[in-house]
Structure 1
């Protein structure tokens, strides 16, 4: 069984660039104010979602392991 991720977007940081939707349209959507939202708060670990988080120009996407809360992205220093 693969990892499950908890995906959150800090809408206080999100600038609405849309990069997340470009990288992972199945994982993210923009609302009418161009703020990003995860389509589902919990998902199977997958490369497009991680790529979207890594490509966010303001690091507004937070990914943690659903079972433990351990950070996936951004990684702990």
Structure 2
């Protein structure tokens, strides 16, 4: 099973916190972050942490059923 990563480019300010937390999952591209791949292995806690620490809450992680699992409250 896989999870789906999404970054809302309208909200992203390019802080790089996600890329610093999980450099193999996120990269900075033209002053904005983007996922290296939209699909990642299920259970990758670094994706959840990156979504939680994003200052603009621009990252969402969804499970295989499409349920939003991050950012967490």
Question: How does the TM-score come out when normalised to structure 2?
Answer: 0.90
Provide the alpha-carbon RMSD of the alignment. 1.4
Deviations 1:27-74 (A, max 9, x none): 00010x211100000001211111111110010001101x21011113
Question: How does the TM-score come out when normalised to structure 1?
Answer: 0.85
- For structure 1, the residue ranges without an aligned partner over 5 or more in a row are none
Say yes or no: does 1:53 pair with 2:51.
Answer: yes
Say yes or no: does 1:74 pair with 2:71.
Answer: yes
Which is higher, the Rg of structure 1 or of structure 2? 1
Instruction: Give the conservation status (yes or no) of the 8 Å contact 2:6–2:35.
Output: yes
- For structure 2, the residue ranges without an aligned partner over 5 or more in a row are none
